[in-house]
Structure 1
Amino acid sequence: MVSSLSKAVKRVKDSISSKERSREDLKVGIAGFYDRSSQLWEKVWGEHMHHGYYVPENRTDHVQAQIDLIDEVLKWASVDAPAVKRAVDVGCGIGGSSRHLARKYNCVTEGITLSPYQANRGNDLAAEQGLTDQCNFQVADALDMPFKTGSFDLVWSLESGEHMPDKKQFVNELFRVARPGGRIIIVTWCHRDLEKGETSLTKSEMKLLKKINRAYYLPEWCSVQHYVDLLEAKGATDIRREDWSYIIAPFWKAVIKSSLNLRSVWGLINSGFSTQRGAYAMLLMLRGFNKGLIKFGLLTCTRPEGPGTPADSLKMIN
C-alpha cells in the first residue's frame, strides 16, 4: 500500500515537473495510452487516427478530410502507383491508412504499433472489410522492425515519428526496410527550424514542449531540418520537405469542439487520467502551433539504388 502510494506521488511530481521519460518508460506509456484512448477516438472520429486536409479551410466533412490527407500526401510525394506492391505503415494506429493503401494500390500492407489493442482492432477491421489477405497488423517497435531488408516499395509513417526517442535509428530502419528505389514518406510533428545564430529553442518554448511530452508520451522534439540532415546522411535521393501546418490547422478546433459533446465527455471520464490529460494537451498543442513553434512537417525521399550497409546485410540474413 505504501509502495503504491509512493509511486503515485512520484508520478504526480514527475508530471508537474514535466520530467522526461526513459526509452523503456516511453514504450510502455505509448502502448498504454493508445490502448486506453483508441476506442474513444474511433467512436468519435472513425478509423483514421490523424489530422485532416483542409482545402478549403472551411470544410466540415472531417472524416473525408482525414482520408483526403492520405491521398494528398501520396500525390505530393509523387508515389508511383504501379510500383507499390508492398507497403509498411509505421505507427499504424488501428490501420486506417494501411487499409486505404491496400484498396488504392491493390497492394499488401503491414502495419506495426506498440499498442496491442490497436493491432488487434486493425486485424478485426481488416476482416470486417474483406482485407485479411492484404492487411496484417502486429505489435512491434519501429526502431527494430521485424521485416527483412528491402521488403517494401512504400514506407509510410503518418504522425508517428514524434514518438521515436532515437530519430537517427528511426530513419535507419525506414531505409533498411525500403527496397532500393523505394519511396519513404514521413509526416510528423516537429518544432520550428532554428534561426541563424540560434543554438536551441527558447526556455519558454522548451517548457511548453515538455508539458506536451508528458501528456502524449513523447521524447525530445526535433526540427524538420534535422530529418533532412539524417536523410542526406543516408544518401537519400529526391529529398523534399514541406510545411502543412496551416493545411491541417482547422482540425484542431474540430477535435477540441468534439471533445465537449456529451458522448465525448462521458468517454473521457471512463477512459482514465492519461486520456483526459491528452485531451487537455490539445490546447497546449494549439498554443504551440499559434506561436509558430509546432510544425506539421512532410518529408519524402527515395532509397538509393545499390548495395546496403553491413548492418542491412546482417538483418537480411536473420
Structure 2
Amino acid sequence: MTTHASSTPAGLEPTRDLPALHHAIKDHYDGLIELYEDLWGEHIHHGYWAKGEPDPGRHAAQNRLADELVALADIPRGARVLDAGCGVGASAIRLAQQLDCRVDAITLSAEQVRRGTEKAAEAGVGDRVTLRCMDAMKTEYEDGTFDVVWALESCELMWDKKEFLQECKRVLKPGGRLVVATWCARDESLKPAEVRLLHRIYRDFAVSHVLPLRRYEQLCAEVGLTGVTTADWTGEVRDTWKLSTDIVKPVVRDPSYVWKLVRAKGVDVFRFLNSVPLMRQAYDRGVMRYGVFTATRPADDTVASRKDLA
C-alpha cells in the first residue's frame, strides 16, 4: 500500500486508512441511495451553467456537465468505456444512448449496482451497460481494455490519486483517453479553519481528500500519461450548491421527516443534510474548486501489466 509523506499539506491528505474509507463509502452510498435520488435525481454530480446563457434548470445542467465532458474528451461513437465510480449509472446510460458506447461501470456500493442495473434495463441499454462492485484503484480488467476511462466526481474518493491514475493508464489501450472531473482544493496553502472545513466535508461525504488541479497535472506526468489538458469549471458549477441548499431546507425544517429518515437510515442522515451548506460555504470561501482534466496513454506505449507495475 502506498504511504503518504508527512510533508503533505494539512487538509490535502487522507483522513482515514484505506479499509476505513472503503467501509465509509459503502455505508454512505448503500444507506443513502434513495435520499440522493430524491434530492439530486439520477445524476449524482454537479450541474454546468454556461456563462451568459439562460438557466436550463438543475437536471438539464447536470446533463450539460456530462455532455461537456464528452466534448472535452472527444469520445468516439462505439467506444469501450470504463466508468470508474459510476453512481447509479446515469452517465454510463447517457454514453450508451447517445454514443452507442459499451460501458463497464464500477462502484463500491452494492446498492448502486442494483439500482443502476435496473435503470440501464429500463432505459433499454442493459446490453451495453454493465455495473459491477469493484475497487477503481485495483480493477479486475485486462491490460489495455478500454478506449476511454471516465471518472466523474469519483477521484476525490480515491485514497491514493497516483495509484488510481496508474490503474487508469494500465486499463487504457495505447492512444486511449482519460477524462476526469473532480472536486479540487484551491491550493496547498490552506488556513487552519479551511482545513477544518474540508475535514468536515470529507467525513460527511465519505471523501478521502482533494488536491489542487495543478497537482493532478503533475501526477499524470509521473505515471506516463501525456497530452494533459486542464480546466477550472468552478464558475460553471458553483450554483449547484445554492440550489442544493434550497432543496435541503424544507427537509431540515420538517423534524418529523428528518426523524423518519434517521430511524430508517441512521444518524448519517444528519451529517448528509448538514454537509450541503458546508459545500456551499467551501465554494463561497474559495476553498473548494472544480477541476477537469484529460490525458492520453501514448500510442506507442507498451501495455504494462500489474505485475510490471508492482
Q: Distance in 2 between matches of 1:264 and 1:238?
A: 49
2:56 pairs with 1:67: no
Deviates more, 1:64-73 or 1:42-51: 42-51
2:94 pairs with 1:105: no
Deviates more, 1:141-150 or 1:91-100: 141-150
Match of 1:287 in 2: 281
Match of 2:149 in 1: 155
Structure 1 residue 43 displacement after superposition: 2.5
2:36 pairs with 1:41: yes
Q: Distance in 2 between matches of 1:44 and 1:202?
A: 32
- Rate the CA distance shift 1:281–1:45 in 2: closer, same or farther, 3 A: closer
2:182 pairs with 1:188: yes
TM-score normalised by L of structure 1:
0.85
Structure 1 residue 278 displacement after superposition: 1.9
Q: Distance in 1 between matches of 2:229 and 2:41?
A: 30
Deviations 1:133-155 (A, max 9, x none): 10000111011111111111111
Listed as ranges, the matches of 1:249-264 within 5 Å are 249-261=238-250
Deviations 1:137-190 (A, max 9, x none): 011101111111111111100001001110110101111111111110010001
Structure 1 residue 254 displacement after superposition: 1.0
Match of 1:219 in 2: 208
Q: Distance in 2 between matches of 1:111 and 1:264?
A: 36
SS of equivalent to 1:111: strand
Listed as ranges, the matches of 1:1-318 within 5 Å are 20-55=15-50, 56=52, 59=55, 61-77=57-73, 79-82=74-77, 84-194=78-188, 200-261=189-250, 266=257, 268-269=261-262, 270-308=264-302, 310-312=304-306
The 4+ residue runs of structure 1 with deviation greater than 6 A are: none
- Rate the CA distance shift 1:262–1:236 in 2: closer, same or farther, 3 A: closer
Unaligned ranges ≥5, structure 2: 1-13
Contact 1:242-1:298 at 8 Å conserved across structures: yes
Across the aligned residues of Structure 1 and Structure 2, the Cα RMSD in angstroms comes to 2.1
SS of equivalent to 1:165: coil
Q: Distance in 2 between matches of 1:111 and 1:192?
A: 30
Structure 1 residue 208 displacement after superposition: 1.5
Contact 1:40-1:264 at 8 Å conserved across structures: no
- Rate the CA distance shift 1:52–1:264 in 2: closer, same or farther, 3 A: farther
Q: Distance in 2 between matches of 1:61 and 1:236?
A: 36
Structure 1 residue 253 displacement after superposition: 1.2
Structure 1 residue 303 displacement after superposition: 0.9
Q: Distance in 1 between matches of 2:82 and 2:150?
A: 6
What letter corresponds to residue 92 of structure 2 in structure 1? S
Q: Distance in 2 between matches of 1:37 and 1:58?
A: 32
Q: Distance in 1 between matches of 2:47 and 2:213?
A: 20
Deviations 1:240-286 (A, max 9, x none): 10110110111111111111235995365443321320221122221
What letter corresponds to residue 205 of structure 1 in structure 2? E
- Rate the CA distance shift 1:250–1:220 in 2: closer, same or farther, 3 A: closer
Contact 1:44-1:264 at 8 Å conserved across structures: no
Amino-acid identity (%)? 34
Q: Distance in 1 between matches of 2:212 and 2:247?
A: 30
- Rate the CA distance shift 1:67–1:253 in 2: closer, same or farther, 3 A: same
What letter corresponds to residue 27 of structure 2 in structure 1? G
